[in-house]
């Protein structure tokens, strides 16, 4: 069947001309030909110049997601094989691949799909209608590519249950792709063992993007008293514990997350030094300050306070407040790690907000490191949404 042709308005398409993969609804002048949502279409500039192929969805503000700029390239099995193979080869060059993100959507030029590997299990998250049609083929190809490297995948689980699917007119979907298997998977990261629940855990079961940031914290936690806020499965706390921290407390509002964290502490034989409790961090930190508690290391890994540009102003207030509360608990000369996982909270905004928090609490900050997400979550410079995690480590000095 002949592909439909999407033509851009004159002066539009600056994003994709700069390397982005998204064409928004207001950039399109006309669509000629017949198509169904999810179909591959040809994209033309206003003057008829062919810009490549992508898949269309009229339910979404992101009307077209580009798959290729090569005019001759068809979106077929061979094309998908090359994309998946390139993604895996990149991971082999850049990260520990025992557990890693193998495909990161647009940043791997496969828009709308994420695949995480937890040892011998794959977890798939599909967020766009067009890529949904290729999902099982991509999984099949990835298993084939991994098998060629001696890695046998015992099961695949789908976690396409994110709210982003609503914007695509897609129902949320969760379940096995292929034969059922035990969805509790033990992984090892930075020498720490975790039991990952790929069926019920947040996102795909675990946050792989902080892997090397957790490792960076090991260096400064030996012999220290550590507070890990928004601990989730106990990840930063357990990295502190395995590095030889003298005492670690992890806080999280989720009882399920705390039960996972406690189980992970036992799994690593750290239950004597690493302790967790269920608490609202925003309420708990002032209580600790009122009790005169001080820590050698305080770690803040909050959830995204904003998932839209419109909510950024309120998010800034939230980040300022949590950083002020955290800074008050750091001993003079101690260490403070803080981050944001929202791409709307830019590095510049986060830096300004932390600076304001330090000024308000009469603390001086000496920057040790600025870090981003692990390389298996590559930042595509033309796709701002792929750059979301910003992570600072400071030494905190009282004003004297």
Residues with catalytic function: 341
* Tokens encoding 6: 């999407």
SS3 216: helix
Write out the H or E segment, with its range, that includes residue 328: none
> Which residues have a Cβ under 8 Å from the Cβ of 188 and sit 6 or more positions away?
98, 99, 194
Determine the distance from the C-alpha atom of residue 106 to the mean position of all C-alpha atoms in its chain, rounded to a whole number.
13
Q: Helix 281-290 crosses helix 312-327 at what angle (to 10 degrees)?
A: 30
Residue 295 forms beta bridges with which residues?
Answer: 330
Calpha distance 43→66 (Å, rounded): 9
Calpha distance 230→214 (Å, rounded): 14
Q: How many helices (H) and strands (E) does the chain have?
A: 11, 20
Residue 167 DSSP code = H
Calpha distance 111→134 (Å, rounded): 11
Measured at the CA of 366, the angle between CA 227 and CA 336, to 5 degrees, comes to 10
Number of Cβ atoms within 10 Å of the Cβ of 381: 12
């Amino acid at each position: 069947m002949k592909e439909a042709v999407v033509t851009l308005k004159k002066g539009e398409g600056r994003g994709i001309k700069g390397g982005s993969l998204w064409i928004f609804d207001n950039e399109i002048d006309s669509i000629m030909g017949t198509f169904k949502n999810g179909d591959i279409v040809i994209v033309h500039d206003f003057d008829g110049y062919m810009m490549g192929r992508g898949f269309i969805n009229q339910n979404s503000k992101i009307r077209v997601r580009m798959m290729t700029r090569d005019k001759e390239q068809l979106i077929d099995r061979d094309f998908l094989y090359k994309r998946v193979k390139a993604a895996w080869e990149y991971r082999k060059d850049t990260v520990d691949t025992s557990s890693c993100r193998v495909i990161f959507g647009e940043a791997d030029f496969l828009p709308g799909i994420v695949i995480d590997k937890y040892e011998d299990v794959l977890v798939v998250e599909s967020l766009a209608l067009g890529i949904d049609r290729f999902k099982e083929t991509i999984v099949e190809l990835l298993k084939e590519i991994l098998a060629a490297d001696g890695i046998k995948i015992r099961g695949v689980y789908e976690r396409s249950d994110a709210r982003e699917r609503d914007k695509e007119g897609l129902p949320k979907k969760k379940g096995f792709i292929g034969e059922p298997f035990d969805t509790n998977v033990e992984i090892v990261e930075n020498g720490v063992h975790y039991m990952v629940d790929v069926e019920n855990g947040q996102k795909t079961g675990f946050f792989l993007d902080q892997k090397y940031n957790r490792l960076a914290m090991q260096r400064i936690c030996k012999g220290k008293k550590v507070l890990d806020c928004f601990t989730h499965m106990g990840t930063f706390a357990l990295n502190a514990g395995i590095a030889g921290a003298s005492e670690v407390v992890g806080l999280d509002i989720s009882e399920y997350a705390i039960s996972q964290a406690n189980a992970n502490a036992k799994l690593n034989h750290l239950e004597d030094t690493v302790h967790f409790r269920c608490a609202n961090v925003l309420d708990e930190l002032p209580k600790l300050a009122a009790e005169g508690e001080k820590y050698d290391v305080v770690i803040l890994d909050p959830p995204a306070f904003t998932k839209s540009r419109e909510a950024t102003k309120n998010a800034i207030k939230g980040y300022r407040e949590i950083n002020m509360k955290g800074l008050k608990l750091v001993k003079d000369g101690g260490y403070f790690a803080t981050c944001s996982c929202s791409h709307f909270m830019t590095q510049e905004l986060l830096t300004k907000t932390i600076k304001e928090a330090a000024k308000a609490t009469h603390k001086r900050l000496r920057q040790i490191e600025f870090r981003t997400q692990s390389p298996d979550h590559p930042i595509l410079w033309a796709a701002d949404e792929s750059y979301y995690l910003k992570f600072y480590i400071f030494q905190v000095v009282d004003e004297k």
